[in-house]
Amino acid sequence: MPGVALSRSPLEEYPSFRYVAPFVIFIVLLAVAPKLDLDARLEAPLRVIVMAAVCYVCWPRDLTLKPTKPLLSIGVGAIVFVIWIVPDVLFPGYRQSVLFSNSFIGHLHSSLRPSEQQNAWVLGWRTIRAVAIVPIVEELFWRAWAMRWLINPDFEKVPLGAYGTLAFWVTAVLFASEHGPYWDVGLITGIIYNSWMIRTKSVADCVLMHAVTNAILSSYVIARAQWQYWQ
């Protein structure tokens, strides 16, 4: 009606919503799901389906899904996988040190129950989550939003891939802290991922890179029964 202002949705009213909401919802589901005590055969696909819907609705329409440097992004993702596992391969027991296992950052463990580690259905959905959901959720939040918001809270005025010293390092450190006992390789990964965003200025490239890392790591986890990587 003329003269009546139509209310806008949160997606329109708050630009940060599209970038932050998937990450927040993902973390909430991580915290809440175990308390619901659902059968993992139901919970695993349900969590993926819910997050896929959230990512679809929230994905900023001005961001392209086409990587600018797909082959290089794949290569960087593979290198990060090597960085992730090499300390434990070269130095068995490395993460038993108090630096990586304490009451503050947590201890090595797997979120998968022993019975779930032998269930192909659960492992398949867990892999889909790691490869198709986590990269979108984290790259939207860390590289597309946090790195810009820390430069200017009116983040839409900041181009993708803009460099700010404080923004770069705060994002890398917070990203590392998200990975608990793997904070050391998490920090290196955060630096590489941040740098790749600065280089490509493309969320799609960062999502592809992150997906490759997680795909190879998931294969390694299942093939070698290294369940502790799935916290």
pLDDT of residue 113: 86
pLDDT of residue 199: 98
pTM of the model: 0.93
Helix (H), strand (E) counts: the chain: 10, 0
Which value, to the nearest 10 degrees, does the dihedral of the CA atoms of residues 138, 142, 143, 149 take?
140
Percent helix, strand, coil in the chain, to 5, is 70, 0, 30
pLDDT of residue 1: 47
pLDDT of residue 38: 81
- Tens-digit pLDDT profile for residues 102-133: 988 888 888 888 889 999 999 999 999 999 99
Please say if the pLDDT value at position 145 is more than 50.
yes
pLDDT of residue 8: 62
Residue 165's pLDDT band, with cuts at 50, 70 and 90, is very high
Please say if the pLDDT value at position 182 is more than 50.
yes
From residue 159, how far is each of 37, 100, 147, 154 by CA, in Å?
A: 43, 36, 10, 11
Which value, to the nearest 10 degrees, does the dihedral of the CA atoms of residues 158, 164, 168, 174 take?
-70
How far is Cα of residue 102 from the mean position of the Cα atoms in its chain?
A: 23
- Tens-digit pLDDT profile for residues 67-102: 999 999 999 999 999 999 999 999 988 898 898 889
Q: Kindly tell me the burial class for residue 88, based on how many C-beta atoms sit within 10 Å of its own C-beta (0-12, 13-18, 19 or more).
A: middle
CB 146 within 8 A of CB 171: yes
